Amino acid sequence: MRVALVGGGVIGGGWAGRLVENGVDVEIYDSHPEAERRVREMLANAERAWARLTLAPRTRGSVTFAASLPDAVRDADVVQESVPEDEALKRLLLGEITAHARPDALVCSSTSGLLPSRLQADVQGPERLLVGHPFNPVYLLPLVEVVAGQLTSEEAVGRAVSFYASLGMKPLVVRKEVDGFVADRLLEALWREALWLVHDDVATVEEIDDAIRYGPGLRWAQMGTFLTYRIAGGDEGMRHFLEQFGPALEWPWSKLTDVPELTDDLVGRIAQQSDAQAEGLSVRQLERLRDDNLVAILQALRARRYAAGELLYEHEARLFTVCAPREVEPDPSLPLRLHEAVVDPSWVDYNGHMTEARYGVEFGHATDAFLRHVGLDAEYLDGGHSAYTVETHIRYLREVAAFEPLAVETQVLGADSKRLHLFHTLVRRPSGETLATGEHLLLHVDTVQGRSTPWREPVAGRVAAAAAAHAELPVPEGAGRAIGMTASRVDA
């Protein structure tokens, strides 16, 4: 598939990151002289985030920059328009896009609130045009609102939903064409109230943000509004909540139907408070901080397979299944380098070095990589079989600091009908300096019956082949060691 992006700003660049990290080739057209630099900076942020978000193998797509709009869209399967929220500009560009794109190309606008029926007015083939409204950063936030216009076909809506879902996104088909769609109508209500609180000197911009990020925002990240309030209703649920708190909606608290005038004084006050809140961090630094926090939240939700975490879990499973094989197959007669990583600052302790627990996590990832290498995939797991680590011995040999690139080399020390004996060596890239070793014994189990069983094909044959290929390798230094201190007895 090939996707054309018209507009390379914050949203267009974010789309580029999402697409490239999911193996889609992208061609971008943006007449701004700094467009390519800006997009490539966002692509670097996207690659950094996805490298930490998931260990699933990914084939990265390519990015090219077109000299003209016709060049960008001519061969595209999907065109995603992401220019500023100016209806006249969008209608002009969408007309030009549909004049030069293939008749079967899907054309989507990233507009955050303009009605697609109005955007269809000047296009050729209006049945293939709709809104695909994402949220910043597009490469991490999965929501995309899909909004059809009066002339949009059901087939186009279905294609858009399938396309966005293939990128690990959550397509939300908006039932009725309304200004602002769903999410932005909710956000605008909160934004208007926040502006009044600053206007009336009730709170600063930082205090308002604190009210969200330390409180309801943490609930919204996993449960949204209605499920959160259902819980607030106790055993009696939503009906009790509405009966108890519904009358408060009529109290004269809110100014949601009124907007404060954005005078120079109010704009200046908000800008000054915002500058102080940023504490000197650049936009790129704030983006990376935001991405790091989003990755941590998504991974926490993934561990429980809940909300956006379940979406990430399912998308990872697809990536593990459909990813193209490595360009260069590892030499089976040598230790296998199947797992690489870069030390994230969150893995570092108060001494400034990687925590003991993280060594175990990286060795665990290397074990998982080896199991995938021999065919223990999602289908094998769904069949009720897996391999569990039952014994581990780790030697910590060198300190590791934040942002250091690592790799794990894996040697098979032995295998039989039910067991697998692995030896991992953690090395610093590219020097190959040994940082730690981990020795692991795995047992093949029937996960339904809860007992050990022989390996099943095709994994059984591949495990045996890997063990045979490594049989002539020298036993690595440290293999078979226990704790090195000799036991002694101290008499009272």
**138-192: pLDDT as tens digits:** 999 999 999 999 999 999 999 999 999 999 999 999 999 999 999 999 999 899 9
Residues 208-264: tens digit of each pLDDT: 999 999 889 988 988 888 888 888 888 888 887 778 877 766 666 666 667 778 889
Residue 400: which CATH number? 3.10.129.10
Same domain membership, residue 174 and residue 191? no
CA angle (55, 57, 60) in 5-degree steps: 115
Backbone φ and ψ of 170, nearest 5°: -110, 95
Residue 251 CB burial class (10 angstroms; 0-12, 13-18, ≥19): exposed
Domain membership of residue 310 (yes or no) is: no
Same domain membership, residue 412 and residue 346? yes
Same domain membership, residue 242 and residue 121? no
Same domain membership, residue 159 and residue 52? yes
For the entire predicted model, the pTM comes to: 0.74
Same domain membership, residue 113 and residue 10? yes
Give the model's pLDDT for residue 480: 92
Instruction: Report DSSP letters for 16-62, one per residue.
Output: HHHHHTTT-EEEEE---TTHHHHHHHHHHHHHHHHHHH--S---PPP
Same domain membership, residue 175 and residue 81? yes
Same domain membership, residue 225 and residue 257? yes
Question: Domain limits at 345?
Answer: 329-469
Residues 399-446: tens digit of each pLDDT: 998 878 899 999 999 999 999 999 999 999 989 999 999 999 999 999
Domain membership of residue 29 (yes or no) is: yes
Domain membership of residue 287 (yes or no) is: no
CB neighbours of residue 136 within 10 Å: 14
Q: What is the percent of the chain where pLDDT is above 90? A: 69
Same domain membership, residue 202 and residue 337? no
Instruction: Report DSSP letters for 268-304, one per residue.
Output: HHHHHHHHHHHTT--HHHHHHHHHHHHHHHHHHHHHT
Give the model's pLDDT for residue 456: 96
**Under 8 Å between Cβ of 410 and 336:** yes
Same domain membership, residue 205 and residue 139? no
Cα–Cα nearest to 169, from 129, 134, 217, 220: 134
Same domain membership, residue 351 and residue 263? no
Domain membership of residue 39 (yes or no) is: yes
Split into its structural domains, the chain has a count of 3
Domain membership of residue 386 (yes or no) is: yes
Same domain membership, residue 173 and residue 34? yes
Q: What angle, 0 to 180 degrees and rounded to 10, lies between the N-to-C axes of helices 205-213 and 216-223? A: 50
Domain membership of residue 299 (yes or no) is: no
Domain membership of residue 477 (yes or no) is: no
